[in-house]
Amino acid sequence: MKALFKYRDFTHFISIYTLVDDHILDERHFERITYELLESEAGCHVRYVELSFSPRDHIRRGLDYGEMLDAINRGRRRAQGEWGIKSHIRVDLVRNYGPEAAMETLDLVEAEGEGVISIDIGGSEDRFPPKPFAEAYRRAREMGLHLVAHAGEAAGPESIWDAVRHLGVERIGHGVAAIRDPELMRYLRERGVAVEACPTSNVLIGIVPSLEEHPIRRFYDYGLLVSANTDDPSMFNTDMNREYLRLHRHLGFTVEELFRLSLNAVESSFLPEGEKEELRESFLGEYRRLMGRHRL
């Protein structure tokens, strides 16, 4: 398994990801997958997770969307009941299937969308740019969904520009290429577009050469609304504890800076404002208790 999860590049990662997907053969599997993921995150003291779910990957294998969603929601409820961890679902429209398939996926979400809070486009960014999905994003916004897009991971800054200009996204997944465009950096900071940085993932698939060269440090110092994330935890042998430790050891993030990354995650989450404020106050209270006299 360790050998399987050594990726030559982004394209090779996608092929291994697809191979793993091929072994999810029953809708009921999603309850266990969801529950165990949230159990692991609760073990890292994570309080809230937005779970990425790519239904089209499994529908094409013959699985039923409604049954998969029901299983995910059973896993979410079990985890919240046992571990107190809250979660919502982000539906990945998967850019490889094209804009028409994206609309079909939105049809499914509109008919049955319990727990779904946002959409995304993952997949082969280098071959499928964001702009053709503008109509799907417009519709999702009208449905009351929040908007995210993978951009600037396997393509350059122009992919991020397209995502913010044509899709109107609130968050960018990865966004590594933004560091190459000062004007884009200013735009993201001024507009408050959040960046979901995934350091371990980006290193293991060769997007950046090493953790020391990952732009999350410069994103943070520049004042972007950046957070640290695991991407696909089991496929990168990571979790939130490991991500934070690596940021400390390889990029010099202090405890206070790591805490501020957590506050950025709260701020950029899609929780209702009241729940977001409660989570923010909970984080602040616990941080102050742990740090004693030290205050932000």
Domain ranges of the chain: 10-290
Choice among 50, 125, 153, 196 that is catalytic? 153
**pLDDT above 80 for 294:** no
Give the angle 238-197-204 at the CA atoms, nearest 5°: 45
Share of the chain above pLDDT 90, in %: 96
Enter the CATH code of domain 10-290. 3.20.20.140
- Residue 153 is a catalytic residue: yes
For residues 172 and 195, is the Cβ–Cβ distance under 8 A?
Answer: yes
Of 101-105, 189-193, 238-242, 288-292, the range with the lowest mean pLDDT is: 288-292
User: Which own/partner contact pairs does 249-254 have at CB distance under 8 Å and 24+ positions apart?
Assistant: 250/210, 250/211, 250/212, 250/214, 251/211, 251/212, 251/214, 251/216, 251/217, 252/217, 253/217, 253/220
* Mean pLDDT along residues 151-175: 98
Q: How confident is the model at residue 293 (pLDDT cuts 50, 70, 90)?
A: low
**pLDDT above 80 for 83:** yes
Residue 2 pLDDT: 84
Residue 218 pLDDT: 98
Which residue, 132, 50, 70, is CA-closest to 97?
132
Which residue, 58, 53, 138, is CA-closest to 90?
53
pLDDT tens sequence across 24-53: 999 999 999 999 999 999 999 999 999 999
Share of the chain above pLDDT 70, in %: 99
pLDDT tens sequence across 265-285: 999 999 999 999 999 999 999
Q: In whole angstroms, give the CA distance from residue 83 to residue 75.
A: 12
Taking the model in full, what pTM does it have? 0.95
